[in-house]
Structure 1
Amino acid sequence: MSSPNQYFVLIVPACAALLGIAMIYCWSRLRDHRYLLWIASGYIATAIPMGIHSLMPTELLARWTLPLSSMYLLGVWAMAQGVALRFGGRSHVGGACLIMATTLGLLFYFSRVDDQLWLRLLILNSGLALLVALPAKTILYGHAPTLPLRTLLRASYLIVLIYAFIRVAILATVIPHDGQLELTRSGFWLLMLATNMFISIWLALAILTSTAMSIVQTLDHERSRDPLTRLLNRRAFFEQVKKRLELYGHNGWAVLTCDLDHFKSLNDTWGHAAGDRALREFGALLARTVRQDDLAARFGGEEFVMLIRSTSLHTAVLVAERLRSSVMNLPIAATAHTLTASFGVVQLNSNGDINQAIEQADRLLYEAKHAGRNKVIWRAS
């Protein structure tokens, strides 16, 4: 006869299954986040045998060892795979297959040939711990520079890893070897379920919070970028300029404004698709040119602005000249148009205002246009 406590502990696998279903729903809305499907599969795959074990009398455990243990192993590997994917890596399939095959082989022997419950518990949990450890190098030491809350995720994974091996140590020392343990009615089982629930909820919250932060980061990135060239847009440029000047001061900066020459003629002659290709190529050139602290933005149409670290006006002019020369080598597919650009360069002084510097660089840019285009004209701010 099942006790009320057995039905009560079904709360734990039910919570795990619900967390898995929630992640599947999130994945259905966010198909780019494939790791959610792996982790959800892991939660559901472990919830099913956990629930069955909670209702199963001890005398039936040996008969159901292989199918239920297979679900535990597959579920834990799926969760490890999902967390590894979150960090840009993956769990080792070959290693996972070896661990699962070895674990199931030993479980078969100690359930069908020599029925030893305590050894089955030790073997299964050792296999689970090894599966959790498989992607440890990727997760703990891998590079994930754009991953929000990566420290929290790494800490959460480390907690799961340590718990998995502590559980093996506890089983090796606490579980009686005489086969008298009523596993599913024991305090140990209840404690293990409670711990599993706490860790499962913690890991799920860390994963979902990280996912939400990634979405916010992506939306903010899209809001800040010109959709065609992927450079900063005007609003984001001024936001970043403010941060740069507050952090480093006004000295050591130069403003470059640039405009593609005869762009209207390119559009009229070869079509807007050719114009878009020219803008993308030029935007890519600017993106390759900027360094870590530099900024490049498309202000609209064929107009671009850069803020670069420059100790002198001469250095900034050299950068503009290199860009001017490189523009003429940009390929524009299906056209015979040679692309050129005009530049205005201003060195920002210690009291300089960025808006005034851009206006002054614009005036120099128009001087370059009137002087025949494909030129760089400069002046100190």
Structure 2
Amino acid sequence: MSSPNQYFVLIVPACAALLGIAMIYCWSRLRDHRYLLWIASGYISTAIPMGIHSLMPNEQLARWTLPLSAMYLYGVWALSHGVALRFGGRAHPRLAGAIVLVTLGLLFYFSQIDDDLWLRLQILNWGLALLVALPVKSILSGRSRTIPLATLLRASYLTALLYAFVRVFALATLIPHEMQPELTRSGLWLLMLATNMFISIWVALAILTSTAMSIVQTLDHERSRDPLTRLLNRRAFFEQVKKRLELYGHSGWAVMTCDLDHFKMVNDTWGHAAGDRALKEFGALLARTVRQDDLAARFGGEEFVLLIRSTSLHTAVLVAERLRNSVMNLHIPATAHTLTASFGVVQLNSNGDINQAIEQADRLLYEAKHAGRNKVVWKAS
């Protein structure tokens, strides 16, 4: 083998190992992204036998077939399992185990009993291709819609799957038995290594880019949410209102303000833990009640604001009444207090001034408080 070719066959496993190390580093900073560790394990576990296999003389391959093949098979399954986890699924470990056992059994026979390098290559590559195919169902599932760059990641992995089967048929049709001694020195072998390197780098970049975008989305989500109730905070509420009004226009909306009655008494009597529990339960009730186009936010303390998609003020008032009745059914452990809430509801006027509408709804809310609490007060804006 010429010196340039020797260097090249080492570049491919070295790249795979470096990709694995990069994944481990990312996982060390992002422990919640467990799939990164599996993918890292896959890259490193395939890099080791790839380097040994490319440099080892063919006459020694039979002796090392089983350990090298076991590392290949584990590495490919680990990578497949990691990708499946990224899409919220699994790479069928029991089925994978069966594929690995059958593959290793056949490899043992054709290395220790009936030495046949050509058949060993076919068997190993079929086993690898089947392992690559295991996460396809997870990749194509509807859950992938929430993953950033899901289309790119899906296309990258399916390209790797296609290549795995193309490699099987290329080895079966382009390498006759008489070429066995020269296999790892052939141009086809170098082409396969180059393709492996390109696809490995491409898939790794797709995974890392998707992960980075997930982190950005998570940070943006956390920045937009009230930490206790997980509803929108004040800033995010106004941002979303602007988008809603630009998308749907200013008509057909109602603004609702509400807060829990006697909330200070709950804090003073049963402690802040009970008060926080009351806010969380009320926030969860609002989240369950609002529809896709509606918005619910906590502005601070026990004050909440909603933007309701409503063709009439009457419809929005019915929503408020339903909420008012539901609040009284909320149970706060370790307290003997029945929660109630007061509401102010206005129709958003044609100019869409959300601040003016909130101020008017607040005035109605205070009217409800002064009228005895646990009431809904409304007025056309």
TM over 0.5: yes
What letter is aligned with 2:222? E
SS of residue in 2 equivalent to 1:238: helix
Moved more, 329-338 or 71-80: 329-338
Q: Aligned Cα RMSD in Å?
A: 1.2
Assess if the C-alpha contact under 8 Å between 1:252 and 1:309 holds in 2.
yes
Assess if the C-alpha contact under 8 Å between 1:7 and 1:55 holds in 2.
no
Aligned pair 1:34/2:38, yes or no? no
Percent of aligned pairs sharing the same letter: 86
Equivalent position of 2:373 in the other structure: 373
What letter is aligned with 1:250? H
Distance 2:194 2:7 in 1: 14
| 1:78-227 pair list within 5 angstroms | 78-178=78-178, 180-227=180-227
Distance 1:141 1:271 in 2: 46
SS of residue in 2 equivalent to 1:292: coil
How far 1:116 moved relative to its partner? 1.4
Moved more, 289-298 or 175-184: 175-184
Equivalent position of 2:342 in the other structure: 342
What letter is aligned with 1:45? S
Question: CA separation of 1:257/1:251 partners in 2, compared to 1, >3 Å: closer, same or farther?
Answer: same
Distance 1:72 1:352 in 2: 63
How many residue pairs match? The answer is: 381
1:263-298 residue CA offsets vs partner (Å, 9 max, x unmatched): 111111111111111100100000010111110000
Equivalent position of 2:353 in the other structure: 353
How far 1:226 moved relative to its partner? 0.2
How far 1:180 moved relative to its partner? 4.0
Tell me which protein shows more helix as a share of its residues.
2
SS of residue in 2 equivalent to 1:145: helix
1:65-99 residue CA offsets vs partner (Å, 9 max, x unmatched): 11101100000000000000001000111110111
Assess if the C-alpha contact under 8 Å between 1:87 and 1:142 holds in 2.
no
| 1:14-29 pair list within 5 angstroms | 14-29=14-29
Assess if the C-alpha contact under 8 Å between 2:229 and 2:279 holds in 1.
yes
1:79-134 residue CA offsets vs partner (Å, 9 max, x unmatched): 00000000100011111011111111111111122221111111111110000011
SS of residue in 2 equivalent to 1:62: helix
Aligned pair 1:43/2:43, yes or no? yes
| 1:171-320 pair list within 5 angstroms | 171-178=171-178, 180-320=180-320
Equivalent position of 2:326 in the other structure: 326
| TM score, norm. by length of structure 1 | 0.98
SS of residue in 2 equivalent to 1:298: strand
What letter is aligned with 1:241? V
What letter is aligned with 2:274? A
What letter is aligned with 2:322? R
Distance 2:359 2:274 in 1: 29
Distance 2:147 2:37 in 1: 18
Assess if the C-alpha contact under 8 Å between 2:117 and 2:180 holds in 1.
no
Moved more, 232-241 or 51-60: 51-60
Moved more, 289-298 or 350-359: 350-359
Equivalent position of 1:362 in the other structure: 362
How far 1:53 moved relative to its partner? 1.1
Distance 1:69 1:76 in 2: 11
Distance 2:141 2:230 in 1: 30
Assess if the C-alpha contact under 8 Å between 1:139 and 1:154 holds in 2.
yes
How far 1:3 moved relative to its partner? 4.3
Equivalent position of 1:74 in the other structure: 74
What letter is aligned with 1:202? W
How far 1:144 moved relative to its partner? 2.5
SS of residue in 2 equivalent to 1:182: helix
Distance 1:88 1:8 in 2: 36
Unaligned segments of structure 1, at least 5 residues: none
Assess if the C-alpha contact under 8 Å between 1:76 and 1:128 holds in 2.
yes
Unaligned segments of structure 2, at least 5 residues: none
Assess if the C-alpha contact under 8 Å between 2:245 and 2:352 holds in 1.
no
Moved more, 180-189 or 144-153: 180-189
Question: CA separation of 1:133/1:119 partners in 2, compared to 1, >3 Å: closer, same or farther?
Answer: same
Distance 1:285 1:85 in 2: 32
| TM score, norm. by length of structure 2 | 0.98
Assess if the C-alpha contact under 8 Å between 1:27 and 1:33 holds in 2.
yes
